Chain A
Amino acid sequence: MKKWKMTKTAKNNFVTYIIVLIAYIVVQILLKSGNMSSLMEGLLVPLCIYVMLAISLNLTVGILGELSLGHAGFMCVGAFSGAFFSRCMDGVMPNGIRFFIALLIGAAIAGIFGILIGIPVLRLKGDYLAIVTLAFGEIIKNLVNVLYIGKDNNGFHFSMKDSISLHLGEEGQVIVNGAQGITGTPHDASFTVGIVLIFLSLFIILNLINSRDGRAIMSIRDNRIAAESTGINITKYKLMAFSISASIAGVAGVLYAHNLSTLTALPKNFGYNMSIMILVFVVLGGIGNIRGSIISAVILTLLPELLRGLSDYRMLIYAIVLIAMMLFNWSPKAVEWKDKLKEKYFSNISFRKEKEVK
């Protein structure tokens, strides 16, 4: 009997998966019954993207305890490498496989960038990661804006000047066209794919946290000196957490690229503001609280859209909700009240679930 009892964390994770699943089912029902406005329908994939970004940044901020201000940069890297691959391979291989490989490529390249930044910066003590990632995000965005890559019979051509200096042959076509970005990326993203990717990210992050490596990562967050003298390899585990976090942001980027016909790197989508917005999701949802990140990402993405009718008061209400959420999540009184509520109403339910699972 006792052997099969779920631990508290396992139960918590289970609830997180269930919440995502229920959200998926509800949305599917709304879609099938035609009760969803086209505006909302268009928001579904971005929602998935923001949720993935929020939980991946929470791995860096909440679990590793380092501040990253360039998460949009990793998303940008993933988006462009994934879209580039898809544009090149469109029609060459079946769509499903091509999209799958694009996702892998996006994850790998974003992860590599994570490691490249992490190797020098994560060895330092202090907030250097925040500064360097901030710069990284801006540099990547500007680099992509002057990047020209074309393809003809002779292979790939590359330039940082303009599309004419690519010297393409007659059959050639420009794939990455500087500030105009990548056009004609196949539209592979859908809500279902987004949810599957959320599940996958959750699976990776939650299982990582509750493993030997996750404990090592959190021990560094809690006390670096003690972790070191307990024999934990600080650099290795910091790099591991940071690169996994970057990879998942890269996957979110690939999804983003395959949801738009034209992919450009603007301050709006890959800039500083975006990185900060993801950080707001994480902070409001609770640092280190993965489920909280999901919920706050959903609420804060939907809210401005839902309030569109109120035009003038929209941002005012948004700001008030931000403050209210912050108080609800962080004030000691509110936390106490939530715990009491949980004990009162949910202790029986969770107990029942425990029995079912066995």
Chain B
Amino acid sequence: MSLLEVRNLTISFGGLRAVDDFNIEIKKGQLYGLIGPNGAGKTTVFNLLTGVYKPDEGIIRLEEKDITGLKTIDINKTGIARTFQNIRLFKDLTVLDNVKVGLHNHYHYSTIEGIFRLPKYYKVEKAMDERAMELLKVFELDGEADYLASNLPYGKQRKLEIARALATKPKLLLLDEPAAGMNPNETGELMDTIRFVRDKFDMTILLIEHDMKLVSGICEALTVLNFGHILAQGQTSSVLNDPQVITAYLGE
């Protein structure tokens, strides 16, 4: 059964068809890559999937459920979480609180219980702390839990963003250029982390990436976008050997 199913997704900005007739099917537990040259429309696809933009045409289904045109927060509640190309952390909150914001919709107490510090506040906050620390441990951020997010080094900020996205208990995780700005060592580490997340959380992951080492190393299937169109789609090895893809990336 496919977890995410997208049929002929299309959006135009002015006269420009930024994404045209986009189709994709991602199976549960798959590590799927979305690649393409700059300006191909990859991030636009992410924005369509997360409800930042409303598609002109097309259907998005998550576990058979039509989520086309839902608001961003509702899409997050149905189970799609994402990270951003330019990191968007809550920079004046602590590392721990960043993850706790991610847990927001899964742990509840009322405003009154929060202000008057009723027993439920302590109980739920404690559970949230424990859960958040668990997540931070996975990303080896537990030592920095009290730091402000903006004080983390770049690589750890990327990891924190993934931790925060995972805290919302998604079914599908979208990573927008997770290796951007990382050195080869950090990229290697990140590949391990992504694989680990997939195995440990039983997660389905769709990622945008330019780093071919990362893409060929961990993605099981690929879709290549060029000028908003799908250029190639399928198993990673066959797609990467497709002459059309090589032309698009390297030129004639």
Residues of A within 8 A of B (CB): 8, 203-204, 207-208, 211-216, 218-219, 221-223, 225-234, 240, 288
Residues of B within 8 A of A231 (CB): 73, 76-77, 102, 104-105, 168
Inter-chain contact A228/B101, CB cutoff 8 Å: no
Set A207, A211, A218, A228: member contacting B93, Cβ < 8 A: A218
Residues of B within 8 A of A221 (CB): 92
0 or 1 for each of B56-98: is its CB under 8 Å from A? (1 = yes): 0000000000000000110011000110100011111100010
Inter-chain contact A223/B90, CB cutoff 8 Å: yes
Select from chain B the residue with minimum beta-carbon distance to A203.
B115
| Interface flag for B116 (CB, 8 Å) | yes
Set A208, A212, A222, A234: member contacting B104, Cβ < 8 A: A212
CA distance A312 to B57 in the complex (A): 71
Residues of A within 8 A of B128 (CB): 212
CA distance A207 to B121 in the complex (A): 11
Nearest-neighbour CB distance to chain A for B113, whole angstroms, equals: 8
0 or 1 for each of B128-150: is its CB under 8 Å from A? (1 = yes): 10000000000000000010000
A-B pairs, 9 with minimum CB distance: A211-B114, A226-B88, A222-B90, A231-B76, A219-B101, A219-B90, A228-B72, A223-B88, A207-B115
Set A8, A213, A219, A230: member contacting B168, Cβ < 8 A: A230
CA distance A285 to B90 in the complex (A): 23
Inter-chain contact B92/A222, CB cutoff 8 Å: yes
Residues of A within 8 A of B93 (CB): 215, 218-219, 222
Nearest-neighbour CB distance to chain A for B144, whole angstroms, equals: 14
CA distance A213 to B76 in the complex (A): 18
Set A208, A230, A233, A234: member contacting B81, Cβ < 8 A: A230
Set B50, B92, B107, B108: member contacting A229, Cβ < 8 A: B50
For the A-B complex, the count of residue pairs with Cβ-Cβ distances under 8 Å equals: 93
| Interface flag for B111 (CB, 8 Å) | yes
Nearest-neighbour CB distance to chain A for B104, whole angstroms, equals: 6
Residues of A within 8 A of B92 (CB): 218, 221-222, 288
| Interface flag for B117 (CB, 8 Å) | yes
Counting contact residues on chain B (CB < 8 A from A), the size range is 35 or more
Inter-chain contact B111/A223, CB cutoff 8 Å: no
Inter-chain contact B146/A8, CB cutoff 8 Å: yes
30 contacts between A and B (CB under 8 A): A204-B115, A207-B114, A208-B115, A211-B109, A211-B111, A211-B125, A212-B104, A212-B107, A212-B108, A212-B125, A214-B114, A218-B90, A219-B90, A219-B101, A222-B93, A223-B88, A227-B101, A228-B72, A228-B73, A229-B73, A229-B81, A230-B81, A230-B101, A230-B102, A230-B104, A231-B76, A231-B105, A232-B101, A232-B104, A234-B73
Inter-chain contact A215/B101, CB cutoff 8 Å: yes
| Interface flag for B100 (CB, 8 Å) | yes
Nearest-neighbour CB distance to chain B for A218, whole angstroms, equals: 6
Set A8, A212, A230, A234: member contacting B164, Cβ < 8 A: A230
Inter-chain contact A216/B116, CB cutoff 8 Å: no
Inter-chain contact B114/A208, CB cutoff 8 Å: yes
Which interface residue of A213, A221, A240 has the most chain B CB atoms within 10 A? A213
Residues of A within 8 A of B72 (CB): 228-229
CA distance A91 to B165 in the complex (A): 59
Contacts A8-B146, A223-B88, A231-B73: A208 and B101 contacting too (C-beta < 8 A)? no
Inter-chain contact B104/A226, CB cutoff 8 Å: no
Which interface residue of B88, B104, B105 has the most chain A CB atoms within 10 A? B104
CA distance A216 to B52 in the complex (A): 19
Residues of B within 8 A of A214 (CB): 114
Residues of A within 8 A of B168 (CB): 230-231
Select from chain B the residue with minimum beta-carbon distance to A206.
B115
